[in-house]
Structure 1
């Protein structure tokens, strides 16, 4: 028996944090009804590092099957399992209530309301607008998934879809606690496009005194930073003169991001980097 397979559709996960824009931290699990449909229709489910593909049997027992023959409005459902505990430390997608919400991605609305025909989310990037309450699916999950993808096998099913995540932004705060910096004057942190306020005095939980510099604007996190910042001394902005102390300061560890609420209407995320 000779069988030939062609692509029905695929879903790819992307993330601007990573150099190659590929997000490889999900496992995809078809639900039982979807698995049964695969058996009945001869569809093949093939996961890859940052997504999955669906193939249909286009030639079987000397019979040619068209792609349109598979599009019978059945809804395929896939559970997304998150395998990276630090995912939300580098991802900006703002889920509302983790205890009861999950992400719901689908192609139900076709092309009318989509930012892009190939996106399964509502805006340019995955956002809080893509979340629903767990109860919306009419079942109680034994283990609530990160999200659910539903693909309706409709006439306008695309051969490729994308779920695109955006990197998180935070205020970078450099905290200098090394004794050899205490007697230096006119310390500053400089970069190409980002300004830092400081130095300001700060008392650490262990009562040590330090100096802090905070970025004026939030900075996006990248697997490889777009730029590095310098710690300099004898800085004179009007003359652009300084002595370089550290040519490339370390960047934030995405495993450690703190949330500081300065007032009820202003919630800021800080990434703290200690310089000893």
Structure 2
């Protein structure tokens, strides 16, 4: 049988944490029932690291045009696999009860344009309880992708995740840093964007100065701004001595409870320890 595959739709993954154009932290698993549907309809799912493409054989018997195939009203259900164990550390997703919930993506007409979720970013609105799923899964999937092959199917889609924004906390751990008279954190415009030093009690340590960002800062694999620790002159003329520049960003593979004694409920914090 002759084969010539044409594109039905293309899906790409993006995550704002990564400055690279596409995200490689998720993939697709084809259930056995869906595999049979693909075979019977002469369809092919081609996967790449940062997305997938659904193809049809334009030389196959029967439905050989895109419009003809999209009149078949076939529904394909794929499992979405999470390949990144640190995903929830840097993603703006409410993780309450995540063990009993999974993402539901698809080309529902109620979704935002060009994406496979309710709004421009995937969020808690796209989570469904496992008790709501039509099938029972031995292992809870990260998500399901439901594609209806009808006239609503677009040429291109995104699954797009938003980076978590947190209040950054810099702990002055060494004796030299803790002894700074007027520590301040400045952005690349020389503007103070962190609080005055607070005192935090750490296990087996005395009180440690900590500076907290005034506003939440998006997490990123590249720092969007150059932050620097300085010791400001006490005369108020904005003169300062730079101590550390640039300051490191939070490490997403580390979770600390160092500031729980003074953290504000409802806010998310990231701790960075300077020595």
What is the 5 A alignment of 1:105-116?
Answer: 105-108=105-108, 110=109, 113-116=110-113
RMSD, aligned α-carbons: 2.3
Alignment TM-score, normalising by the size of structure 2: 0.91
CA distance in 2, matches of 1:101, 1:194: 41
CA distance in 1, matches of 2:233, 2:80: 51
Report the CA distance between 1:206 and its aligned residue: 1.6
Which residue pairs with 1:29 in the alignment? 29
Deviation string, structure 1 residues 16-69 (Cα, Å, up to 9, x no partner): 1111231101121122221001111111111101111111011248x8811122
What is the 5 A alignment of 1:114-263?
Answer: 114-116=111-113, 118-191=114-187, 192=189, 195-235=193-233, 238-258=236-256
Report the CA distance between 1:209 and its aligned residue: 3.2
Instruction: Extract unaligned runs of 5+ from structure 2.
Output: none
Which residue pairs with 2:64 in the alignment? 65
- The answer to whether the 8 A contact 2:232-2:238 is kept is no
Which residue pairs with 1:4 in the alignment? 4
- SS at 2:81's partner residue? strand
What is the number of equivalent residue pairs in this alignment? 271
Which residue pairs with 2:87 in the alignment? 87
- SS at 1:105's partner residue? strand
Greater shift in the superposed pair: 138-147 or 230-239? 230-239
Given the superposition, is the C-alpha separation of residues 6 and 194 from structure 1 closer, same or farther in structure 2, using an over 3 Å criterion?
Answer: farther
Instruction: Extract unaligned runs of 5+ from structure 1.
Output: none
Q: Structure 1 segments of 4 or more deviating over 2 A?
A: 181-184, 234-240, 256-263
- SS at 2:176's partner residue? helix
Greater shift in the superposed pair: 140-149 or 176-185? 176-185
- SS at 2:39's partner residue? helix
Alignment TM-score, normalising by the size of structure 1: 0.90
CA distance in 2, matches of 1:262, 1:268: 13
